[in-house]
Amino acid sequence: MTSAPRSDSPLSFDVLVVGWGKGGKTLAAALGAAGRRVAMIEQFEDMHGGTCINIGCVPTKTLIHDAEQRREDEDPQQFWGRAVSRRDTVVGKMREVNHAMLADLDALTLIDGRARFTGERTLEVTGGEDTLTVTAPVIIVNTGATPVRPDLPGLDSARVHDSTSLQHVEPFPARLVIIGAGPIGLEFASMFAGYGAEVTVLNRRERLLPGEDADVAGEVAAVLEGDGITVLNSASAQAIEDGPSGATVVADGGGHEQRFEADAVLLATGRRPATDGLGLEAAGIETDQRGAINVDEHLRTSAEGVFAIGDVHGGEQQTYLSLDDFRVVLSQLTGEGNRSTSWNSTSGSSAPWNSTSGSSASGRTTTDRIAVPTTTFLTPPLAAVGLTETEALAEGRKILVASQQVATIKAMPRPKAVADPRGLVKIVVDAETDQILGARLFHVDAQEVINLLALAMRTGTTATQLKNGIWTHPSSTEALNETLGKLAPLLG
């Protein structure tokens, strides 16, 4: 990799990638390895490798893991300090690996600076006092998402954090108030409770996890409560008042003012596509009301030759979907229109790619994604795929449902062996076809077992086949043997 020389004349590349996230870095590496001239543009040096390894998935799950190892008698401040140090070591090593992944490619140029469109397929990159103009027939926008900051008085307090700054909070907060009860809010609630904090979650909805069946949401709420976490439903934050010894979060709880003292406050009110300042209008790139870039099923924007991948185009914000975006875009750029296609560097073709070529309109696209699983890393994790019972009934399906408390599943000894038999297994099956329609797994190893159920949904593997499967012992997967044996039609 070479650094781009500063020049008054535009520099030309085959591909420009704006943002070093999962999809962008993988695409840059694949095309750079094939000898294509690629420029990776990243605004922040400490974001080399993307959100996931620097401030998102990896560091937070590292902190969650360590929280689960803490004993009651261990000092929260000292334990937190050691955990943060290990977190930083893990992130540093992964950042080095990700940097080397591109640094070893001679055809790839790294440009540090903030990019904005100044015209069709033309970017101006500003770094410090330097400005560089770069062009390419293909541009990939991969700038991710940024935390949403609600319009509340008092957000300028040093005690107010987002999910990035809270990972290095000092001193460790004995009292943490979390505004928002989505996946990020609940993960941090579970994490900080594990480190010994007194955690209060303000949930503006009438109940926790309104998109889940009531029994699943109720089980999650019971586990959080058992861990000492207070979740207040129908509670909306109104202001944050800073004081000499802490902050006070003022909330509206069903028409009544409530006040909560805190050493730290986490804003967990969602993330929105990071498109501010990109100058998208100069390139004719259309966005929706939230600022997400509009794309078609091939991830093409309204501007010729410009693609958007990852969180910046809206939808579910998952690293593995960004990776799948890479597959979709690579298949368009190689002219094959098939995700399984790899770049053929011996093809002899050096012509620029045409994002509207006939071949790019064929093959697999974002519309063929089936059974995409998710996991919220509580302790234990909550994993989900497919339809809930409520959704399946709303579609008019005839269904069978199997649901068991983890503690009662005799054929599932692993949670008991690791001293956490809490949670629930719930699986929804089509009564006519025996196909898995959806599952909610709230137990030890749920983040792994959910992938098996997702694969079954994609391949047509039946509930009976899973029930009769031969699984390792002791494992959490064994729950399928017993729980699926209890499938029953709904009564009433």
Task: In whole angstroms, give the CA distance from residue 9 to residue 5.
Answer: 10
Question: 185: how many CB neighbours lie within 10 A of its CB?
Answer: 23
Q: Amino acid identity, residue 84?
A: V
Length of the chain (residues) = 492
Helix (H/G/I), strand (E/B), else coil: 200: strand
End-to-end CA distance of the chain: give it in Å, rounded: 66
Q: Which of 99, 168, 443, 473 is catalytic?
A: 473
Which of 407, 70, 408, 423 shows the shortest CA–CA distance to 224?
423
CB 114 within 8 A of CB 132: no
- Beta pairing partners, 267: 179
Chain centre to alpha carbon of residue 119: 31
Can you tell me which residue has the tokens 């008085």? 153
Look up 473 and say whether it is catalytic. Answer: yes
Cα separations in angstroms, 137 against 123, 157, 346, 410:
12, 45, 21, 60
What radius of gyration, in Å, describes the C-alpha atoms of the chain?
24
Q: State the virtual CA torsion across 30, 35, 41, 42 in degrees, nearest 10.
A: 50
Task: In whole angstroms, give the CA distance from residue 453 to residue 466.
Answer: 9
- Beta pairing partners, 375: 383
Cα separations in angstroms, 229 against 132, 221, 457, 469:
50, 9, 35, 38
**Which residues are catalytic, by number?**
473
